[in-house]
Amino acid sequence: MSPVKPRRPLALAATALALALASTACAGGGSDSEDGVVELRYSWWGADDRHSTLQQVIDIFEAQNPDIRIVGDYTDWGSYWDKLATSTAAGDAPDIMMQEERYLREYGDRGALADLSELEGLDLSKVDPLVAESGDLDGVTYGIASGVNAYAILADPAAFEAAGVELPDDTTWTWEDYIALSAEITEASGGDIVGTQSMAYNESGFQIFARQHGENLYAEDGSLGFSEETLTAWFEMTQELLDNGGQPEASQSVEIEAGGPDQSVISAGTGAMAHFWTNQLGGITESSGSEIELLRYPGESTGDRTGMYFKPAMFYSVSAGSDHPEEAARFVDFMLNGTDAAELILSDLGLPANVDVRGHILSSLPPADERSAVFLSEIEGDIVDGNPPPPIGAGQVVEITKRVTDAMAFGDLTPEEAAQQWISEVESATGTQ
């Protein structure tokens, strides 16, 4: 007995030390620190300018809410979804995250997102009715739109001028005009300036085209809402542009697409037109150094109906597993309804969804963002309706579209075969076979 005794204090000390280490380790990894400050993680995707803007916004929020600390967690679009999926699977999803139409259902239906309408401190009453319910699925608000966006054509007047070609009248132009114009620019500039960047890599453009035919990309029940002929016609136009030189050849297109908006033909000054979202106008204008203009899609006046639509640019969502939903709701409210946040973000997350906030910043928008705001208000009257929410698996369509487009551009598929393959792959990805 007695020889053991002297050792006890040492053992006790060791245990105490271990416990102390363990408890500090917990404090480091957990979201509550000792001073009562709640730590939240907020994740988004984007390019460098967005990262620095949002960090400034976070600083303002923290100054106004000393009891909350926001940790920014950001990456580019491509890695964002891999990272979000992995962290969600590990039960370590960010408290607040940016979501997107095509992924919202994937997370919402599987119980990973909180119902925003039930969170206190988050006022959803001022959101533009055009997108107010865009984040609702089966009566649950999984996301609230950060802003409004439209898919359109970006045109560089300087490139048109250099090629000696006039800008088209976008209220009347047809798809034939678009194709002929693109070829004309390439030819007139001796190939220095290409007419248009390939439009086939993003299914959002096809969605407009399908709507012009009285169809849609997805039907209300999540199945495909268009005919094979329509998609074939869509791919045929790209084939025509490849043949007549209106767009870069296949392998150049692959490199341009891989570079993202910063390396688009407009940003690089090597092309006259490209297809993008209106909130990307600011960034692309900056990298191009030219006064980029927005054009309506071709065929808006000649189709069965207009095809352009407003899209919720992104959603604010709160993780269902967040330990601090109330604080998270306060932050979302600050982002959605606060003028402080909007004055910095401007229209980078779409033209603000809160109509009061939108009115507040309109006068202070830089020229490019102002042009996109004006553009959106101009097309608003022509927009017929919104789109049904995309089905589960719609996130994979991005990649399928790229792959099928490549295969066609490299001559492995005809436009008909491309349409067939796209349909069968998307049906299998969205489980609507």
Partner 1 sequence: MSALLQRGTRPASPAAPAAGRRRTAARGTGRRKRESLAAYGFLAPWFLGLALITAGPLLASLYFSFTDYNLIGDHEVIGWANYERMLDDARLHSALRVTFVYVFVSVPLQLALALALAMVLDRGVRGLALYRSVYYLPSLLGGSVAIAILWRQVFGAEGLVNQVLALFGVQGPGWVSHPDHALSTLIVLNVWTFGAPMVIFLAGLRQVPAMYYEAAAVDGAGPVHRFVHITLPMLTPIIFFNLVLQIINAFQTFTQAFIVSGGTGGPSDSTLFYTLYLYQEGFGAFHMGYASAMAWLLLMIIGGFTAVNFLASKFWVFYGD
DSSP string, 16-61: HHHHHHHHHHHHHHSSB-TTS-EEEEEEEE--HHHHHHHHHHHHHH
Burial class (CB in 10 A: 0-12, 13-18, 19+), 145: buried
In the complex with partner 1, which residue's Cβ is closer, 33 or 86?
Answer: 86
In the complex with partner 1, which residue's Cβ is closer, 212 or 267?
Answer: 267
- Decide: 120 and 329 in contact? Cβ < 8 Å: yes
In the complex with partner 1, which residue's Cβ is closer, 83 or 126?
Answer: 83
Among the listed residues 132, 135, 99, the one whose alpha carbon sits nearest the alpha carbon of residue 115: 135
Q: How far is the CB of 283 from partner 1 (least distance, A)?
A: 19
Q: How far is the CB of 89 from partner 1 (least distance, A)?
A: 4
Q: How far is the CB of 18 from partner 1 (least distance, A)?
A: 16
325-337 vs 355-362: helix axis angle to the nearest 10? 40
253: left (phi over 0), alpha (psi -120 to 50) or beta: alpha
In the complex with partner 1, which residue's Cβ is closer, 254 or 341?
Answer: 254
Q: Which tokens sit at 170?
A: 């976008």
- Decide: 358 and 131 in contact? Cβ < 8 Å: no
Q: How far is the CB of 219 from partner 1 (least distance, A)?
A: 22
Strand 351-352 and strand 68-75: the pairing is: unpaired
In the complex with partner 1, which residue's Cβ is closer, 86 or 302?
Answer: 86
Whole-angstrom distance, CA of residue 34 vs CA of residue 25:
13
Whole-angstrom distance, CA of residue 419 vs CA of residue 424:
9
Q: How far is the CB of 253 from partner 1 (least distance, A)?
A: 8
Among the listed residues 116, 51, 43, the one whose alpha carbon sits nearest the alpha carbon of residue 86: 43
In the complex with partner 1, which residue's Cβ is closer, 59 or 82?
Answer: 82
Whole-angstrom distance, CA of residue 143 vs CA of residue 133:
9
Burial class (CB in 10 A: 0-12, 13-18, 19+), 104: buried
* Angle, CA of 146, 152 and 153, to the nearest 5°: 140
Q: How far is the CB of 348 from partner 1 (least distance, A)?
A: 23
Q: How far is the CB of 112 from partner 1 (least distance, A)?
A: 5
Q: How far is the CB of 415 from partner 1 (least distance, A)?
A: 16
Q: How far is the CB of 236 from partner 1 (least distance, A)?
A: 19
In the complex with partner 1, which residue's Cβ is closer, 172 or 251?
Answer: 251
Q: Maximum CA pair distance of the chain?
A: 102
Contacts 24+ apart (CB under 8 A), 372-376: 372/278, 372/279, 372/281, 372/282, 372/294, 372/347, 373/347, 375/150, 375/152, 375/278, 375/294, 376/148, 376/150, 376/278, 376/310, 376/351
In the complex with partner 1, which residue's Cβ is closer, 308 or 429?
Answer: 429
Q: Which tokens sit at 207?
A: 């969605």
In the complex with partner 1, which residue's Cβ is closer, 279 or 405?
Answer: 405
Q: How far is the CB of 109 from partner 1 (least distance, A)?
A: 8
Binding footprint of partner 1 on the chain (CB under 8 A): 78-79, 81-82, 85-86, 88-89, 106-107, 109-112, 250-252, 254-255, 258, 393, 395-396, 399, 402-403, 406-407, 410, 412, 429
In the complex with partner 1, which residue's Cβ is closer, 109 or 416?
Answer: 109
